[in-house]
Amino acid sequence: MALTGRFVLLLALGVLPIVFFGEPVIMLLWLLGSVLLGALDLALAASPRRVTIERGQPGRLRLGESVQTELLLTNTGTRRLRGLVRDGWEPSAGASGVRVPVRIPAGERRRVEVHLTPFRRGERRTRHVTIRSLGPLGLWARQATIASTGVVRVLPPFNSRKHLPSRLARLQELDGATAVMVRGQGTEFDSLREYVRGDDVRSIDWRATARRNDVMVRTWRPERDRRVVIVIDSGRTSAARVDNEPRIDTAFESSLLLAALADRAGDRVDTIVFDRRVRARVQGASGANLLSRMVDAMAPVEPELLETDWAQVPAQVRQVTSQRALVVLMTAIDTAQSARGLLSVLPQLTRKHTVLVVSVSDPDVLAATGHRESLDEVYRAAAAERAQLDVARVSQAIRQLGADVVTGSPADLPPAVADRYIALKAAGRL
Amino acid sequence: MTLQPEPRPQQAAETPDVSTPSVRSVSKKSLFWVAAFVFILIVGAVTFSTAGAGAAAARLGGTSPNPNGAKAVVEVLRDHGVTVHLADSLAEARAAASDTTTVFLYDGQSLLSDEQLAEVGTLGGRLVVAAPDFDTLQQLAPQLAMAGAITDSGTVVPGCTLPFASRVEAITGEGQSYRIIDDSASGVTGCFPAKDNTYSLVQVATGAHTTTVIGTTAVFSNETIVGAGNAALALNLLGESDSLVWYLPTLADLPAGEPTLAELSPDWLPAVTGLLALVVLGAAIWRGRRFGPLVVERLPVVVPASETMEGRARLYQRATARSHAIDQVRIGTIGRLATELGLSHLSGVDEVVSAVAARIGAPVHEVQHTLVTWVPATDGELIVLSDALLDLEKRVAETGPGRRSSPGHPSVTIDQPRQARAHGTEQGE
């Protein structure tokens, strides 16, 4: 049961007759009358319990986008229902208009549309719908909550896709310009074409030239069908926020850009999200399917407050591929103590694979080293320098173990990882 | 949000799963508590109505059967043919009193003003005042003074020749005693003496009118009247004339002053106030009624990554680790200077010092002092040294051959990640 503002107003209007007639007993009469009217109204209201709910499932959307969900309300009662409906979405689902007015004649069905603009990644849910049914006078209302589950999956935004065209262009340059590139172990024969001025004379294929009446050169293309294994650390260090974005979200952005790029370059990309067990895994997908499956797998993953078990990582990589691969470890490099697990398994990985360790660096720390106006700030700068020294030491150790390190602020990291991939590809080190 | 009509469904859907409890189930569950509440209300009402009667009776009330009432003495006097008028106000007492009447006054709450007391002093032929306070005594018997309370529970004997007292053996002594301060005045007789010329009962005769002051109420109250010779004194004292006015001042005796707020405000005000209170209650229910249950959401942990850095900074500061802190800054500075000067990362501090000195044209020992040997002794020195390090970096950057004019320090924060990454690339490949 619920009251409306109209009932409160009706009660308040009772002041006028009391003052006009000056009889205190009118107050009791007015009160009794109001309550009787309210009770009558309540008795005449349609039952909200006799409304059945069907729900259109909105499916998936990227973070930052909007989606329209629909509720189908069927009034199975015998009276016309007039009232308000609230769909119980989680606050971070960003539902517009929490209370929707509805009028459903007896035995009919109406559609209610709710627009969602979620502001958190993951699965956003609603578990119930609440209906408040007003009486014909609009004084008192009946209310009931009906269970009805709805889910919308909010995918990582992949903001870094704006970097994709420029990186793809560089990949194509790599493709066509191979005639002038060093012919190393990492390039494969692509095709023969006519010589144009400026081509490297060393790439002239004399046998083909002899067969035709024209000078032919061999072209080369970067190696294809290599393996890229992305391992994203979802342990406790990934929960920390840099620039108000959890490290794991930056790792997702970086891996999506890298996967898109590597897929276009003809390599096979596999992704594992791991802390002490596998939280998400995408294997054997390619083309448009790859990114879709990756964002789908990543959407519900939140950092766990656990120490990552690095000892299991080589086995996980071995499960994905036994070939030589580019293993990209998306984690955090903070101090020698916290990176001990990572450092201890790196030799196993570098023996067989090319390993790239990717870590977000904190712009706040860099900024802190420059501000030294007060005593507090000098100590802050000292602590920041110390933090950077720690990172530098761990990076050095990783390089000594044969792996490569990429660090950057959340905005810079995804293109930096993509650039490093292109550099490795150009050098034929995959 | 929009509403659009939909075609009528072909078949009725299944019964919805409603989580709100129905009125029937709520009333079943809460039946016990409602019953318990109503029971407590009834018991409370009954208790209040029966207990209220006893509490209302006044001390020494002529109709009160309580231990501190005086119904006993009043009824006995009536049996002996004395006409007893119970007066609640001065007006009633005035109307009932004639020249020969005995007036009994007990003003336990000191309600009467001086003027009213003076008027009481002229009523009837005889006035008996029980346990008067200071003001009452001043007005009715100025020849007397308070002489302290008698607290022992013994009895006192008459010791005087007044007719009503001489036939009494003894009365309860507990109560107030009085001293006669005006010895020269005639007609003042003290009875029932305690020590030091103090008396429990004093009679002051002024012409035909006598005023009797008695310090104890025990003589009249139901509980103690049967003790010692109390009853004898009370009956003798009050039964001397045919009629008695038993006057206990009440709130009705208070002077009517300015009209009270309640008298000034209109009749409908309490009703309107009550209605407005109900309106407020209704508004609270209207706004406070929740539209369905709360929605719970599992929120992520929010930990800024720079938390450890801040913590370490505060640790340095609390431990006043000046030299340790400045060493961290120096290591960072020397690293950046080495990069700026094109030296290897493996080059020693002395190499960097001499290269810096050569670049900016400063004496080697000065640069050495800033970069290595200066140990800051105070917080002020720490800041000065930190500024000197910044200055050194800036000068090296500015004097660089073919360098940009902006300083190469990380205060240009956007440059830094790129530098770090470029550096990483060199190392990695």
Q: What is the mean pLDDT of residues A98-126?
A: 91
At B14 the pLDDT is 54
Which residues of chain B lie closer than 8 angstroms to A2, CB-CB?
285-286, 289
As a whole-number percent, the residues of chain A with pLDDT over 70 amount to 96
- The per-residue pLDDT for B203 is 86
Report whether pLDDT(A407) > 90: yes
Q: Do B1 and A111 touch (CB under 8 A)?
A: no
- Is the pLDDT reported for residue A288 higher than 70? yes
What pLDDT digit, counting tens, does each position of A216-231 carry? 888 776 677 889 999 9
Return mean pLDDT, chain A.
Answer: 89
Mean pLDDT for the stretch of residues B185-197: 79
**pLDDT digits 0-9 by tens, B295-349:** 888 887 788 888 889 999 999 999 999 999 999 999 999 999 998 888 887 788 8
Under 8 Å CB pairs connecting chains A and B tally to: 288
The answer, yes or no, to whether residue B198 has pLDDT greater than 80, is yes
> What mean pLDDT do residues A41-60 have?
90
Question: Taking CB atoms and an 8 Å limit, are A52 and B14 in contact across chains?
Answer: yes
Domain ranges of chain A: 48-155, 188-222, 227-426
- Is any Cβ of chain A less than 8 angstroms from the Cβ of B40? no
Give me the pLDDT at residue B406, please.
Answer: 44
**pLDDT value at position B424?**
38
Question: Considering the domain A227-426 in this protein, what is its CATH number?
Answer: 3.40.50.410
Q: Which amino acid is at B267?
A: D
Q: How far is B24 from chain A (nearest CA, A)?
A: 13
Q: Worst-scoring range by mean pLDDT, A168-182, B13-27, B173-187, B274-288?
A: A168-182
Would the CB atoms of B292 and A19 count as touching at under 8 Å?
A: no
> Residue B239 has what pLDDT?
85
Write out residues 349-368 of A within 8 Å (CB-CB) of B: 360-368
- pLDDT of A9 reads 95
Statement: A48-155 belongs to CATH 2.70.70.10: no
* The pLDDT value given to residue B411: 38
Q: Is the pLDDT of residue B12 over 80?
A: no
B403 pLDDT exceeds 70? Answer: no
Q: Answer for the pair A362, A334: CB distance below 8 angstroms, yes or no.
A: no
Predicted ipTM?
0.73
- Interface membership of B288 toward A (CB under 8 Å): no
Q: How confident is the model at residue A187 (pLDDT cuts 50, 70, 90)?
A: low
Neighbours of A256 (CB within 10 A): 26
For B50-109, the pLDDT digits (tens) are 765 544 567 888 888 888 888 888 889 889 888 888 888 888 888 888 888 889 988 888
pLDDT at A130 over 60: yes
